[in-house]
C-alpha cells in the first residue's frame, strides 16, 4: 500500500491527492470484484440452468467439462464489442478466415483482448514491484509496454492464424481441383463431386475438406448452390477459390459444361502457379545480395587478402 501511494505521489506531486486516488482505485477494484462474483454466482447457481442440466443429460456431460468461469466469460463478453458496425464486420470476417465460425467468436475475441489490456499491465506492475533497482518511471514504462502488447498481440496472433490457414487451403486447392475435374468428367453431379472430393481430402488437407463438406451440407439443407459456393469464397478469403466459385456460378447459371469449365480453370491455375513460381525464383538473386555481402564476402576477403596483409605487416615490422 505504501508503495502504491508513493508511486501515485511521485506522479501527482500531492500526498493528499495520492491517498485519495489510491482509495478510489481500491474502490473500483472492489466493485469490479464484487460484480464479477455476483455474475459468477448467478450463472453457476441459476435454478433454471440447473434444472435444464439435469433434464438434458448429454448436454450436462459436455457442460461439466467446461471451466466454471466459462458461463461468466460468455455473459460479459458481449459488453466488450466495439460500437462501430464496420469494425465488428471486419473483425468477424477475419475470425471466419481464421476458422472461428462460432456465434460467440467475436465477443470472445474482444473479451480476451480487453482482459489482456487490463491484466498484462497489472501483472507487470505488481511483478516488477519485487525487482530491486527499478524506478517508478521504469515500472510505468514497462506497464505501458505490456498494455501495448495486450492491445496489439491478439490482432497479430489472429493475422498469423489467418496466414497459416490460407496457406493450408492454398496447398490443398490444386489437389481438390484435379479431383473435382476427374469426378465431374466421370459423370458425377456437382454435389456428389464436392462430397467425394471432401472425403478424399479429409486426411491430407482437413481444412479444405471441412469447407467443402460444409458447402455440401448447406446444399442439402436447401441453400442455393450459387449462394453456398459464394459462402465458401467468403469463408476462405482466397482469390483462387473465389475465382473457382465465380466460374462454377456462371456455369450453373448459363448451363455450360461444368467439367469443361473446371478443366479450363485447372489449366489456367497451373499456368498462374508456374508464373508465380518463376516470379519468386527471379527475386532470389536480389535477396542473395545481403547474405553474400554480410557473410560470404568478408570470409572470402580474409582468405584471399589475409596472407598478403600479414606479409605486409611483417615487412613493415622488419624496417
> For the segment 32-43, what is each residue's pLDDT rounded down to a tens digit?
777 777 766 665
In a domain, 142, yes or no: no
Q: Which domain holds residue 39?
A: 1-79
Instruction: Choose one of 79, 94, 118: the last residue of a domain.
Output: 79
In a domain, 88, yes or no: no
Total domains present in the chain:
2
In a domain, 312, yes or no: no
In a domain, 128, yes or no: no
In a domain, 121, yes or no: no
pLDDT tens digits for 136-164?
Answer: 788 788 888 888 988 899 899 999 999 99
62 & 169 share domain:
no
Over 60: is that where the pLDDT of 269 sits?
Answer: yes
In a domain, 254, yes or no: yes
Instruction: Choose one of 56, 79, 102: the last residue of a domain.
Output: 79
pTM over 0.85, yes/no: no
Residue 48 has a pLDDT of: 54
275-306 CB burial, b ≥16 within 10 A, e <16 = eeeeeeeeeeeeeeeeeeeeeeeeeeeeeeee
In a domain, 177, yes or no: yes
Instruction: Choose one of 79, 110, 127: the last residue of a domain.
Output: 79
In a domain, 239, yes or no: yes
Amino acid at each position: 500500500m505504501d508503495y502504491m501511494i508513493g508511486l501515485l505521489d511521485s506522479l501527482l506531486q500531492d500526498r493528499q491527492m495520492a491517498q485519495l486516488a489510491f482509495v478510489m482505485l481500491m474502490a473500483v477494484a472492489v466493485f469490479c470484484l464484487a460484480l464479477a462474483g455476483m455474475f459468477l454466482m448467478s450463472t453457476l447457481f441459476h435454478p433454471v440452468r440447473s434444472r435444464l442440466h439435469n433434464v438434458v443429460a448429454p448436454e450436462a456431460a459436455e457442460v461439466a467439462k467446461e471451466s466454471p468461469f466459462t458461463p461468466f466469460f460468455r455473459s460479459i463478453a458481449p459488453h466488450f464489442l466495439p460500437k462501430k458496425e464496420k469494425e465488428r464486420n471486419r473483425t468477424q470476417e477475419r475470425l471466419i478466415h481464421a476458422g472461428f465460425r462460432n456465434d460467440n467468436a467475436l465477443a470472445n475475441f474482444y473479451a480476451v483482448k480487453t482482459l489482456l489490456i487490463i491484466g498484462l499491465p497489472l501483472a507487470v506492475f505488481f511483478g516488477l514491484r519485487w525487482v530491486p533497482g527499478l524506478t517508478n518511471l521504469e515500472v510505468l514504462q514497462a506497464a505501458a509496454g505490456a498494455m501495448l502488447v495486450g492491445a496489439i498481440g491478439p490482432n497479430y496472433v489472429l493475422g498469423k492464424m489467418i496466414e497459416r490457414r490460407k496457406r493450408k487451403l492454398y496447398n490443398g486447392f490444386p489437389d481438390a481441383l484435379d479431383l473435382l475435374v476427374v469426378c465431374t468428367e466421370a459423370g458425377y453431379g456437382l454435389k456428389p463431386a464436392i462430397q467425394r472430393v471432401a472425403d478424399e481430402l479429409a486426411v491430407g488437407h482437413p481444412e479444405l475438406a471441412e469447407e467443402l463438406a460444409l458447402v455440401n451440407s448447406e446444399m442439402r439443407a436447401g441453400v442455393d448452390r450459387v449462394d453456398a459456393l459464394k459462402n465458401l469464397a467468403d469463408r476462405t478469403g482466397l482469390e483462387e477459390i473465389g475465382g473457382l466459385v465465380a466460374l462454377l456460378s456462371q456455369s450453373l447459371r448459363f448451363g455450360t459444361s461444368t467439367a469443361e469449365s473446371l478443366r479450363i480453370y485447372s489449366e489456367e491455375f497451373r499456368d498462374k502457379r508456374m508464373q508465380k513460381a518463376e516470379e519468386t525464383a527471379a527475386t532470389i538473386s536480389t535477396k542473395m545480395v545481403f547474405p553474400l555481402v554480410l557473410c560470404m564476402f568478408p570470409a572470402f576477403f580474409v582468405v584471399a587478402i589475409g596472407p598478403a596483409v600479414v606479409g605486409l605487416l611483417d615487412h613493415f615490422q622488419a624496417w
